Amino acid sequence: MQWQPAGSYEDILFDLCEEGIARITINRPQKRNAFRPRTVQELCDAFSRVRDNPRVGVVLFTGAGPAADGGWAFCAGGDQSVRGDGGYLDESGLPRLNVLDLQRLIRSLPKVVIALVAGYAIGGGQVLHLLCDLSLAAENAVFGQTGPRVGSFDGGFGAGYLARLVGQRKAREIWFLCRQYGADQALAMGLVNGVVPLNQLETEGISWAREVLQHSPTAIRCLKAAFNAETDGMAGIQELAGQATHLFYRTAEGQEGRNAFLEKRPPDFSDAPWLP
Ligand code: S0N
């Protein structure tokens, strides 16, 4: 696999390969890949560029490691060292909660996002992992929440969608007890799709991405929107309905409406059947 750098950032790495796979890496290993506002802004930029690139169908989302002390992390959540009294302070001192923008971007990306988790996926990092469509854990992966200990919580996807995945009892245990769970426990509770040795994590992710890329982009984007619609309320329905509109635009029937308007004539839908 030949990765080509696709952008220049301070806190992340963004690479593409010719096969249609992107790799986005949080690159703050000395902070266990905790995110500050800049990190989130850069992640949003990279994911937006993936969204706009019609050659890319799958994103591998991961964290850089190991750190100088040998520690591994996917992401340890919000960077507590820049947490002010009203949010995470950006470089101009403005408090931000911009990880919520990133969550929605990953959730609605009409492509497949695969989390590759080596080491800790904790706090807001565990929520980011949760929002990926598929998740592969290395044997050293550790998942957990710390919010009730460090004075934060994610009552959106971090609570509701977690409960959908692992069940209400387990989700409450994860948040109320703030314990840590290893890769095999995560697999048993349905938090991840598979567990592999650390040195095979990326290879396995690439292999899963290649399988996805053999399939219909339209079927997959509609399925992703359908899975989201079940849990995401009106925003989920909007996303699924948008896929239907997208398909309708590509039909002769949809195009007749546009053509008739531009040609200043009544539309003729007589070729469109009223199918059962
Ligand atoms: C990850 C842990 C368990 C790793 O332990 P380990 O391996 O023993 O390493 P340490 O020595 O603890 O850490 C190594 C260095 O990394 C720094 N560091 C680690 N995590 C963070 C962090 N989150 N912020 C800042 N620095 C971090 C350590 O400080 C150490 O550096 P030195 O040696 O220089 O001190 C362990 O590190 C751990 O438990 N980390 C904290 C995990 C945590 O509590 N995360 C925050 C949880 N909260 C959130 O994520 C907020 C979520 C959020 O953003 C949000 C959610 C919903 C709505 C809005 C928001 C929003 O605020 O935007």
- Residue with CA closest to ligand 1 atom 58: 154
> If phi over 0 gives left and psi between -120 and 50 gives alpha, with beta otherwise, what is residue 150?
alpha
Residue 261 CB: number of other CB atoms within 10 A? 11
Judge whether 122 is annotated as a binding position.
yes
Q: Which fold has domain 4-213?
A: 2-enoyl-CoA Hydratase; Chain A, domain 1 (3.90.226)
| Residue with the two structure tokens 């497949």 | 112
pTM above 0.95, yes or no: yes
| pLDDT at residue 1 is higher than 90 | no
| Location of each CATH 1.10.12.10 domain in the chain | 217-263
Cα–ligand 1 centroid distance for 150 (angstroms): 9
- Residue with CA closest to ligand 1 atom 47: 123
Closest ligand 1 atom to Cα of 71: 7
Q: What are 94-139's pLDDT values in tens digits?
A: 999 999 999 999 999 999 999 999 999 999 999 999 999 999 999 9
Q: What are 232-268's pLDDT values in tens digits?
A: 999 999 999 999 999 999 999 999 999 999 999 999 9
Q: What are 139-165's pLDDT values in tens digits?
A: 999 999 999 999 999 999 999 999 999
Cα–ligand 1 centroid distance for 176 (angstroms): 18
Confidence label for 74 from pLDDT (cuts 50, 70 and 90): very high
Confidence label for 3 from pLDDT (cuts 50, 70 and 90): very high
Closest ligand 1 atom to Cα of 144: 3
Are the C-beta atoms of 47 and 12 separated by less than 8 Å? no
Cα–ligand 1 centroid distance for 75 (angstroms): 8
pLDDT given for residue 140 in this prediction? 98
- Residue with CA closest to ligand 1 atom 63: 97
Which residues, including other chains, have CB under 8 Å from residue 159's CB and lie 6 or more apart? 153, 171, 175
ipTM over 0.95: yes
pLDDT given for residue 202 in this prediction? 98
Are the C-beta atoms of 34 and 75 separated by less than 8 Å? yes
Q: Which fold has domain 217-263?
A: Lyase 2-enoyl-coa Hydratase; Chain  A, domain 2 (1.10.12)
Cα–ligand 1 centroid distance for 80 (angstroms): 6
Q: What are 35-54's pLDDT values in tens digits?
A: 999 999 999 999 999 999 99
pLDDT given for residue 153 in this prediction? 96
Cα–ligand 1 centroid distance for 225 (angstroms): 32
Cα–Cα distance between 258 and 111 in angstroms, integer?
28
**Mutate which of 32, 85, 130 to test ligand 1's pocket (most atoms within 8 Å of Cβ)?**
32
